[in-house]
Structure 1
Amino acid sequence: MADELAWETLTTDIAYSCPGFDIVHEDVELPDGTETDFDFLREGDSVVVLPLTPDGDVVVIEEWRQAVKRVNRALPAGSMEADDAAPRDAVDRELREETGYEAERVRHLYTAEPANGYADSVFHYFLAEGCEPTAEQELDFDESIRVETAAFDELLESVRSGDLRDGRSAVGLMYYALFER
């Protein structure tokens, strides 16, 4: 049975498409019968990895982010690709490609919809333990990434102070600190 709050989608079109996301335009009918339109960002599923070295440091990346015109410190993350059957499949690939590290153990932490009022984005958070630098980075043509390690408590403090502003990373660090540590 449909929820009384549900909207009915009448038509769906792609208003704009580019590598990484689409802008979707829908004509919808609201529960009271009003017809209107709704646009949203279709990005799909991504993974965010909290990679811990054997001695407990976190593998972090520094990456140029054109939208905010600065280098951003963050956890490795990336979109699921067509050949990823499940979010877990994307974890090893993203960690290796962005950092050159590989994990001994990986487990799911949390799944979030960070902006479901205007986007269908889903972030799957994973803990990767026993991470060692065993491979070379395999960056996409438009990625500029520097890799480093940092103490977990230092990163957590950088969230508190506002120095670490990447929302995906902040959620992952805080979730781990609150529920897993």
Structure 2
Amino acid sequence: MSALDWKLLESKYLFRSNWLTAREDKCETPQGKIVSPYYVLEYNDWVNCVALDEQGRVIMVKQYRHGIRQTLLEIPGGTMDNDDPSPEYAMRRELLEETGYEFEQLINLGKIAPNPASSNNITHMFLATGGKKVQEQDLDENEEIEIVLLEMEELKAMLKKNELLQSLHVTCIFYALLKLKELAIV
């Protein structure tokens, strides 16, 4: 694949903030074609997780998503903070903040690129088992999250009916179902 890699000739930042950075690049293809401007959005990496409580129920979060102006049912997840030492640490932090649960086991399911054509970040996916409620939610000032507990069969039915819209979360759910089958849990 390296024979297809573009050469970065120039790069300048158009906008920088804590949540979004926009960059304009000038690139050269292996055939010598100049591609300019090429816009890239920079984000911190993200984490998400299929989280199971001690009874095997799936811990879901319901929250408003302004980008599509809808309230969605999703799995827990979020943005890695700059001081998070690892994706695993970030995921445990997000689980505790969003749900109030701690987990016996956190299994890495791999990583995916949310939009590699125009974004630079990675989403790290996990499966958490043995969840136990240890505190109340500790939400960010703009977060309002309702916890919803589902039986595994309810989650599978929602997938079959295409009722979950967040594509990164649906991907994680499918990887988690494969891992749970491998572990002979579902």
**Which TM bucket (shorter chain)?**
over 0.9
Identity of aligned residues (%): 27
Aligned pairs (5 A) from 1:3-152? 3-37=2-36, 38-152=38-152
Q: CA deviation at 1:159?
A: 1.8
Gaps in structure 2 of 5+ consecutive residues: 182-186
Q: CA deviation at 1:10?
A: 1.2
CA distance in 2, matches of 1:160, 1:119: 29
Describe the superposition over 1:22-69 as per-residue Cα deviations: whole angstroms up to 9, x where unpaired: 122111111111222211221131111111011110110001001111
Describe the superposition over 1:109-166 as per-residue Cα deviations: whole angstroms up to 9, x where unpaired: 1211131112122111111111111112111111121112111221122122121111
Matched residue of 1:121: which SS? coil
CA distance in 2, matches of 1:20, 1:64: 18
1:155 aligns with 2:178: no
Gaps in structure 1 of 5+ consecutive residues: none
State the TM-score, normalizing by the size of structure 2: 0.91
Q: CA deviation at 1:91?
A: 1.2
CA distance in 2, matches of 1:36, 1:52: 46
CA distance in 1, matches of 2:92, 2:50: 12
Q: 1:53 is aligned with what amino acid?
A: D
Describe the superposition over 1:70-96 as per-residue Cα deviations: whole angstroms up to 9, x where unpaired: 111000011111111211110111001
Q: 2:121 is aligned with what amino acid?
A: S
CA distance in 2, matches of 1:17, 1:146: 31
CA distance in 2, matches of 1:175, 1:131: 19
State the TM-score, normalizing by the size of structure 1: 0.93
Q: CA deviation at 1:16?
A: 2.1
Number of matched residues?
180
CA distance in 2, matches of 1:20, 1:160: 33
- Which is further off, 2-11 or 94-103? 2-11
Matched residue of 2:4: which SS? coil
Q: 1:117 is aligned with what amino acid?
A: A
CA RMSD of aligned residues (A): 1.5
Partners of 1:155 and 1:164 within 8 A in 2: no
Q: 2:34 is aligned with what amino acid?
A: E
- Which is further off, 155-164 or 75-84? 155-164
CA distance in 1, matches of 2:74, 2:84: 23
Q: 1:76 is aligned with what amino acid?
A: P
User: What stretches of structure 1 move > 3 A for 4+ residues in a row?
Assistant: none
Q: CA deviation at 1:14?
A: 1.7
